[in-house]
Structure 1
Amino acid sequence: MSKNRYRHHKTNRHKKYYLLASFTLLLFGGAIIFYFHEAHKTTETAAADETRQSTDLITAIEPRDQVSSTIEQTLVEKNFSGTALVFKNGKIILNKAYGWQNQSKKIKNSISTQYCIGSVQKGQTAYLIMQAIKAGKLSFDQKLSDFYPEIPNSTQISIKDMLNMSSGLRINEKKIEALNTTDTQKILAETVRLATFASNTSYSYQPVNYVLLAGVLEQLYQTSYQKLYQKYIIDALNLKETSFYSTKSSQQALSYNQSLAGLVYAPASTSSYADELGTGNIFMSAEDLYHYYQSFFDETHITANERTELWSPYAGETYASGIYNQKNKYYGHGIKARFETFVNFSKDGKNGVILLSNVWTQKNGYGSLSDQLYKKVVAQ
Structure 2
Amino acid sequence: MKKLILTISGMALFIIMVTLVINLNGQNKSVRLKAETNKNISNKKSTNNNSMLEKKLKGTNFSGSVIIVKNGKTIDSYTRGEKNRNTHANNTDSTSFEINSLQKSLTAGLVMEQVKKGKIKLTDKVSKFFPELPGSKEIMIRNLLDMTSGLSMKSLKLTGDSISSKALLNVITHKVIFNPEKLGAWNYQPVNFVILAEIVEKVTGQKYEKLFKDTYINRLGLNETEMAYRDYKSTKKASGYIVRNEDGNLKYSLQTPNGATIFSELGTGQVYMSVTDFYKALSVLLDGKLLNEKNKSELFKSNVENKARYYSGLYTSKNNTYKYANGYGSGFENHVRISLDGKTAVVMFSNNRYVKNDGLAKKFNEIADEFLK
Both structures adopt the same fold (TM-score exceeding 0.5): yes
> Does the CA contact (< 8 Å) of 1:344 and 1:370 recur in 2?
no
CA distance, structure 2, for counterparts of residue 90 and residue 206 of structure 1: 32
CA distance, structure 2, for counterparts of residue 365 and residue 192 of structure 1: 38
- Structure 1 match to 2:259: 270
- Structure 2 match to 1:335: 328
Which residues in structure 2 correspond to 1:291-310 (within 5 Å)?
Answer: 291-310=280-299
Cα pair distance change 1:179/1:293, threshold 3 Å: same
Q: Deviations over 1:279-337 (max 9, x none)?
A: 10100001101111221244321122222211114324311111001122110111121
Cα pair distance change 1:134/1:206, threshold 3 Å: same
Give the structure-2-normalised TM-score. 0.81
- Richer in helix (by share): 1
- Structure 2 match to 1:45: none
CA distance, structure 2, for counterparts of residue 264 and residue 178 of structure 1: 20
Q: Deviations over 1:179-210 (max 9, x none)?
A: 54511331222112322211212000011111
> Does the CA contact (< 8 Å) of 1:63 and 1:72 recur in 2?
no
Give the secondary structure class of the aligned counterpart of 1:349. coil
Give the secondary structure class of the aligned counterpart of 1:155. coil
Superposition deviation, residue 348 in structure 1: 2.9
Q: Deviations over 1:135-184 (max 9, x none)?
A: 111110001001111222211110001000000012233xx323545113
CA distance, structure 2, for counterparts of residue 371 and residue 57 of structure 1: 22
CA distance, structure 1, for counterparts of residue 136 and residue 349 of structure 2: 36
Which residues in structure 2 correspond to 1:7-86 (within 5 Å)?
Answer: 59-62=43-46, 64=48, 66=50, 69-86=51-68
Give the secondary structure class of the aligned counterpart of 1:377. coil
CA distance, structure 2, for counterparts of residue 340 and residue 89 of structure 1: 26
- Out of 144, 155, 178, the position equivalent to 2:158 is 178
- Structure 1 match to 2:85: 103
* Stretches (4+) displaced over 3 A: 54-59, 178-181, 261-264
> Does the CA contact (< 8 Å) of 2:43 and 2:275 recur in 1?
no
The residue identity in structure 2 corresponding to 1:306 is N
CA distance, structure 1, for counterparts of residue 169 and residue 219 of structure 2: 26
Cα pair distance change 1:310/1:265, threshold 3 Å: same
Superposition deviation, residue 352 in structure 1: 1.8
- Structure 2 match to 1:220: 203
Work out whether 1:356 is the aligned partner of 2:349.
Answer: yes
Cα pair distance change 1:323/1:261, threshold 3 Å: closer
> Does the CA contact (< 8 Å) of 1:142 and 1:158 recur in 2?
yes
The residue identity in structure 1 corresponding to 2:164 is T
Work out whether 1:205 is the aligned partner of 2:188.
Answer: yes
Give the secondary structure class of the aligned counterpart of 2:54. helix
Q: Deviations over 1:26-49 (max 9, x none)?
A: xxxxxxxxxxxxxxxxxxxxxxxx
> Does the CA contact (< 8 Å) of 2:327 and 2:333 recur in 1?
yes
> Does the CA contact (< 8 Å) of 1:81 and 1:357 recur in 2?
yes
- Which structure 1 residue ranges, 5 or more long, are not aligned? 1-50
- Structure 2 match to 1:192: 173
Cα pair distance change 1:58/1:334, threshold 3 Å: closer
Superposition deviation, residue 70 in structure 1: 2.6
- Out of 235, 251, 262, the position equivalent to 1:250 is 235
- Out of 126, 142, 163, the position equivalent to 2:124 is 142
Give the secondary structure class of the aligned counterpart of 2:182. coil
CA distance, structure 2, for counterparts of residue 60 and residue 270 of structure 1: 32
Q: What is the RMSD of the two structures over their aligned residues, measured on CA atoms? A: 2.3
How many residue pairs are counted as aligned between the two chains?
Answer: 323
Cα pair distance change 1:209/1:301, threshold 3 Å: same
Cα pair distance change 1:126/1:265, threshold 3 Å: same
Q: Deviations over 1:87-119 (max 9, x none)?
A: 123321122311001122121001111100001
Q: Larger Cα Rg: Structure 1 or Structure 2? A: 1
The residue identity in structure 1 corresponding to 2:135 is N
CA distance, structure 2, for counterparts of residue 271 and residue 224 of structure 1: 16
Give the secondary structure class of the aligned counterpart of 2:220. coil
- Structure 2 match to 1:121: 103
Work out whether 1:346 is the aligned partner of 2:339.
Answer: yes
> Does the CA contact (< 8 Å) of 2:100 and 2:270 recur in 1?
yes
The residue identity in structure 2 corresponding to 1:188 is L
Cα pair distance change 1:333/1:57, threshold 3 Å: closer
CA distance, structure 2, for counterparts of residue 211 and residue 378 of structure 1: 31
Superposition deviation, residue 58 in structure 1: 5.1
- Structure 2 match to 1:366: 360
